[in-house]
Structure 1
Amino acid sequence: MTTTIRDSRPSGATSGSISRGTAPGGRIPHRRTTRRPRTGRRPLPRVGLPAADAVCAVTAVTASASVAGSITASVAVSVTTSATASVAVPVTPSAATPSPAVAVTAALLLIAVNAVLGLYRQRLVPSVLDDLPSLAGGGAVAMALAPALAPLLIPVPALGAAAPPAGGLGGWAVAVALHTVLACGVRGASYAAVRGRRTGSGARPTLLIGTGSHRHRLAAALLDHPEYGMAPVGVVDDRQSPEPGIVPVLGRTGRFAEILRAHRIHTVIVTPAAADVAAHRLAGVARDLGYEVLLAPEPGGLLADFLPPRDHIWGFPVLRIRPLPQARPAWPLKRALDIVLALAGLVVCAPVIAVCALAVRCESGPGVLFRQTRVGCGGRRFELLKLRTLRPGDPHESETRWSIADDRRVGPVGRLLRRTSLDELPQLWNILRGDMSVVGPRPERPFFVDRFSASLPDYDERHRVPAGLTGWAQVHGLRGDTSIEDRARFDNHYIDGWTLRSDMKIVLRTVVSAFRPSGS
């Protein structure tokens, strides 16, 4: 008998089994992996500006000492020797020269500070005047911290990491001023090139979604102002007789993916009403397929009040929908941290794993490691490793039976390993292989993925990112025999708002919870 799962625990959990769901063809539904279409060009270079900022920082630090010294040397101190005579004594500039390590550290700090200030975000209307306060403030912070942090970040004596900043306070002020001037000049040239490319052959094919006059006004603004770099090619409309407009109706929402491919769309602009569920759904589909998605609500509406003031299309407020985590610049750093943490964890935890394995061997006999097929990113299956906590049984039963807190198959050692999560330590190898990440939604068995995906509409959204050793749901106590709907909601919330900072927060909360273990 097929049981419907709606609210909390999987149906049949207390009896230990769940019947198979009715997913079409038995296939695990999943999203396509994110890949941005190779049409059009990005509004701003993703690597060019950080590299240019680094060059500006190194140049400013290097030149600041000589400039500050020249200014100081040009000032003469008049020493009165008599009522009618004075002697001009030139001040000899300091022989201190800027440290290469300080210059490199300033460049690295500047890139980090500028990223935090949002200076590398894509914008529809880039402006040097908008960037000026952040450029000056970020430069001041980076130049001030560089001398102190250089010995820690670049401990190379040959580079003079311990040398004091050349020029003192005057040198710092000169370095900040030089960097601000250079950075503004570079950005002005870059933004001018971007605007020129947008008005030329760099216009990106754009699809509009929505109804009403706002859609037509937005299309007209894009046609009249090519400097935004978007060329509207058509709209998607489900109505039987859509009103005529300045751009053609390309089809209905049922052909959405086909329209995106056929017209080589790069950007999708959604102009939804407050309760336009279909438009919001299409925005999510386009985002997950790797397209640039902009949300353009009616001016004066509630949503428009929360939009950043710098994002607009000829006065119409616009919000850029964040892409999937894999398409964000910081995602490669997540994988790098996974490798570092997995290697360190395997080395540090090797004695603990050995002791736990010996305890399992003494309690249950041979077969210390438990291998089980789980579903990861994009619906891909992989073999998950755990220390065995259940007594050996029927393989089919282990794939289709839901684990509960008072499962009689669990012995004393297994119960301790589960309560402390020590049985999960072998998954550090899965992380090192790339099957999993340190932080992400917990992977589930294919049998239950079929069932939960058929009953909970948002459950499959969890597979947009790699599975994790720990996750946002787990640090909120949602593990073991708890609500599947709640777990999916927490996991999707983590994915939608992913940042490296959120990963570090989850790791720290996991470490803290390890000292006060609970659950199963």
Structure 2
Amino acid sequence: MTATIRDSRPARDATGSASRETVPDQRIPHRGEARRPDSGRRPLSPLSLPAADAACAATAVTVAAATTSSVAPSAAASGTAAVAAAIAPSATVAVIAVILLSAVNAALGLYRPRLAPSVLDDLLPLAGGGAVAMALAPLLAPFLVPVPAGASPASGLHGWTVAVILHTVLSCGVRGAAYAAARSRLAGPGARPTLLVGAGPHGHRLAATLLDHPEYGMAPVGFIDDRLAPEAGPARLPVPVPPPTPGVRTTPTPGTGTAPEPGAVPVLGRAERLADIVRARRIRAVIITPAPGAGTAARRLARTARDLDCEVFLAPEPGDVLTDFLAPRDHIWGLPVLRIRPLPQARPTWPLKRGLDIALALAGLVVCAPVIAACALAVRCENGPGVLFRQSRVGLGGRRFELLKLRTLRPGDPHESETRWSIAGDLRVRPVSRLLRRTSLDELPQLWNILRGDMSVVGPRPERPFFVDRFSASLPHYADRHRVPAGLTGWAQIHGLRGDTSIEDRARFDNHYIDGWTLRSDMKIVLRTAASALRPGGS
């Protein structure tokens, strides 16, 4: 099969006017606001493999217990209570093994999405992870329930071997069936509509490969390319791109009047129309083939496509520095591709962040209630009535919310409150208020904002709308901070970027946190924030 590029110029009707492509009325999130992905459009549900591995591990431990335990026969003759007592240790071992196995498999990368998953690639990690989990589970079980001698299915070499082998066989069998079903579904109507950015030789090669190998589940529906886009006009069109390999053809340049070939892959428009094309064609995957020196443009396109809930891949040419030194984990028939990480909201562990927020906010409000009351009383005595300070701030998706703080400065007028930049050493700040700022105790009422859902414990610090507009106009990536909820503390703050410090540096640190978000990074920031409370800096 061959891939060709054809002109996708809108067809002319009888009156000579161009018919416009209809864009479905489909909600697209605010810039930076992610939707939860539709798991039905993915090869495998994010939780399907962990659930299958858990079931296989529990089955393996249960069977190993039944075949190796010496307690079960005697317990069977002693009645139901004795049977339950004999089963309890094995059940405990099974639960611990499932938990350990899930953690080990996740650490080994067995749950990350892949374009071409293979059971043979999973075999050794599954066996190794199972061996570790089955060995540790019996050692941890006695801390939870009494384990009689011989009751643990992996207490001896025989039981451990049975559990590991059975778990490996079951997991490989289930994964093989799941992978085969996913490939079969994706090779048919379940293939994801795919947009390729860049209609050069490497883009041609990728399109032809995807057409020849439907098992990757990606159906190329078109290119976007600023050089070949129909709306660029004949004067701006270059000479046709030469075919990169035999069998990959390019139709004449758009505007020559040549009829397109059936099944050709069209050029749909320029890069600036990416969002419109994704909506109109219901694109689910975007592959970017970056041109030399086009790093900024490629990054912008990748973020736009990711914000539109597409799977995004970067496909450098073979021999590129990215492929030589970064060892891409995915490939399309030998062509290396790098998967761009989805937004945090699209990752399976994101709901746990909200659970962590609620738990920490509730605990903080209970524990810190006396401290908040004492600080409020001190503020009342020093600054008079009006202890709580409410101010409009910008959070997730550019939405505004009312942030709470203890009042440490009484501005001359409301306009000053909204537009004056806080600086260290303001002579109007009195001693108690200065202490509250230096120790960040004036921020404690924001635990209520976290409980309400306005903020998170960890995230970019929220800013006032006046300064958001100002910074967004001068810093291209400042608005990208609003892709996640604002936070009480953040990656920038624990590196000393708070108060009157570089806004560019703070935005860079915040975006780095968002791009690499994990639940572990949140816990790290919380612990470092708690530790830095002993070494407070200026506000």
TM-score bracket relative to the smaller structure: 0.7 to 0.9
Q: Distance in 1 between matches of 2:328 and 2:415?
A: 57
Residue pair 1:40, 1:202 contacting (<8 A) in 2 also: no
> How many pairs are equivalent?
464
Which residue does 2:441 correspond to in 1?
422
Q: One-letter code of the match for 1:456?
A: L
In structure 1, the residue matched to 2:232 is none
Aligned: 1:197 with 2:216? no
Q: 1:350 to 1:161 in 2, by over 3 A?
A: farther
**Residues 161 and 297 (structure 1), Cα distance of their counterparts in 2 relative to 1, 3 Å cut:** farther
**Given that residues 284 and 309 in structure 2 are in contact (C-alpha distance below 8 angstroms), is that contact kept between their aligned partners in structure 1?**
no
Deviations 1:210-266 (A, max 9, x none): 142111011000001111111101100111326335411011112211111111111
Letter in 2 for 1:138: G
Secondary structure at the counterpart of residue 293 of structure 1: strand
Aligned counterpart for 2:213 among listed residues 225, 240, 246: 225
Which of 143, 166, 171 lines up with 2:153 in the alignment? 166
| Partner residue in 1 for 2:127 | 136
Is the CA contact (8 Å cut-off) linking 2:379 and 2:433 kept in structure 1? yes
Cα distance 1:40–1:46, how it changes in 2: closer, same or farther (>3 A)? closer
SS at match of 2:42: coil
1:348 paired with 2:367, answer yes
What corresponds to 2:400 in structure 1?
381
Matches within 5 A, 1:387-402: 387-391=406-410, 393-402=412-421
- The reply to whether residue 505 of structure 1 matches residue 505 of structure 2 is no
Aligned equivalent of 1:370: 389
* Preserved contact between residue 209 and residue 269 of structure 1 (Cα < 8 Å): yes
Q: 1:339 to 1:467 in 2, by over 3 A?
A: same
* Secondary structure of 2:529 counterpart: helix
Partner amino acid, structure 1, of 2:269: G
Give, in angstroms, the shift of residue 203 of structure 1.
Answer: 0.9
Distance 1:457 1:102, change over 3 A: same
Structure 1 stretch displaced more, 465-474 or 58-67:
58-67
Structure 2 counterpart of 1:107, from 98, 109, 112: 98
TM-aligned CA distance change 1:46 to 1:518, over 3 Å: same
1:318 is paired with a residue whose SS is strand
Query: Cα RMSD (Å) of the superposition?
Result: 2.2
Tell me the amino acid that sits aligned with residue 254 of structure 1.
E
Residue 246 of structure 2 is matched in structure 1 by none
Q: Give the 5 Å matches for 1:297-376.
A: 297-308=316-327, 310-376=329-395
**What is the aligned counterpart of 1:488 among 478, 495, 507?**
507
Are the structure 2 counterparts of residues 32 and 284 from structure 1 closer, same or farther at C-alpha, using a change threshold of 3 Å?
Answer: closer
**Corresponding residue SS for 1:453:** helix
CA distance in 2, matches of 1:465, 1:401: 26
Query: Which amino acid in structure 2 is aligned with residue 241 of structure 1?
Result: L
Corresponding residue for residue 215 of structure 1: 203
- The one-character-per-residue Cα deviations of 1:450-497 (angstroms, maximum 9, x if unpaired) are 111111111111111100101111111111111111111111111111
Question: 1:404-443 to 2 correspondence within 5 Å?
Answer: 404-443=423-462
Q: Which residue of 2 aligns with 1:48?
A: 48
Moved more, 338-347 or 304-313: 304-313
Question: 2-side partners of 1:134 and 1:381: how far apart?
Answer: 47
Matched, 1:258 2:276: yes
Q: 1:60 to 1:482 in 2, by over 3 A?
A: same
Aligned counterpart for 1:464 among listed residues 465, 476, 483: 483
| 3-state SS, counterpart of residue 206 of structure 1 | strand
Counterpart AA for 1:498: W
**Partner of residue 116, structure 2:** 125
**SS where residue 489 of structure 1 aligns?**
helix
Separation in 1, partners of 2:33, 2:388: 31
Q: Which amino acid aligns with 2:212?
A: D
State percent identity of aligned pairs: 77
Tell me the TM-score normalized by structure 2: 0.82
1:403 to partner: Cα distance:
0.8
SS of corresponding position for 1:218: helix
Q: Are 2:328 and 2:337, in contact at CA under 8 Å, matched by a contact in 1?
A: no
Distance (Å, rounded) in 2 between the aligned partners of 1:434 and 1:400: 26
Structure 1 unaligned spans of 5+:
1-28, 74-94
Q: Per-residue displacement from partner, 1:326-359 (whole Å, max 9, x unpaired)?
A: 1111111111111111111111111111111111
The separation in 2 between residues aligned to 1:207 and 1:186, in whole angstroms, is: 32
Q: Any idea what the Cα deviations from partners look like across 1:296-353, whole Å, max 9, x if unmatched?
A: 1101111112444541101100111001111111111111111111111111111111
User: Measured at CA, do residues 123 and 364 of structure 1 come closer, stay the same or move farther in structure 2, by a change above 3 Å?
Assistant: same
> What amino acid sits opposite 1:367 in the alignment?
G
How far does the alpha carbon of each residue in 1:265-292 deviate from its partner, in whole angstroms, 9 at most, with x for none? Answer: 1100011123123233212210122111
Over 3 Å counting, the alpha-carbon distance change for 1:40 and 1:448 in structure 2 is: same
CA distance in 2, matches of 1:430, 1:147: 44
**Secondary structure, counterpart of 1:33 in structure 2:** coil
Which residue in the other structure is 1:178 paired with?
166
Answer yes or no: is the 8 Å Cα contact 1:40–1:204 preserved in 2: no
C-alpha separation in 1, matches of 2:505 and 2:460: 12
CA distance in 2, matches of 1:51, 1:454: 47
The one-letter code matched in structure 2 to 1:272 is: P
Of 166-175 and 404-413, the range deviating more from structure 2: 166-175
* Secondary structure, aligned partner of 2:265: coil
The alignment partner of 1:233 has SS state of strand
| SS at 1:250 equivalent | strand
Report what 1:273 is aligned to. 291
Question: Aligned partners of 1:280 and 1:516: how far apart in 2?
Answer: 37
The question of whether the paired residues in 2 share the 8 Å contact of 1:373 and 1:382 is answered with yes
Amino acid at match of 2:203: R
Secondary structure at the aligned position of 1:168 is classed as coil
Contact 2:195–2:222 under 8 Å retained in 1? yes
Evaluate the alpha carbon distance shift between residue 309 and residue 258 of structure 1 in structure 2; reply closer, same or farther with a 3 A threshold. Answer: closer
Correspondent of 1:241 among 215, 237, 241:
237
Describe the SS at the equivalent of 1:201: coil
Return the alpha-carbon distance in structure 2 between the equivalents of residues 206 and 40 of structure 1: 16
Evaluate the alpha carbon distance shift between residue 329 and residue 306 of structure 1 in structure 2; reply closer, same or farther with a 3 A threshold.
Answer: farther
Please say which of residues 369-378 and 29-38 is displaced more in the overlay.
Answer: 29-38
Kindly indicate whether residue 302 of structure 2 is the aligned counterpart of residue 283 of structure 1.
Answer: yes
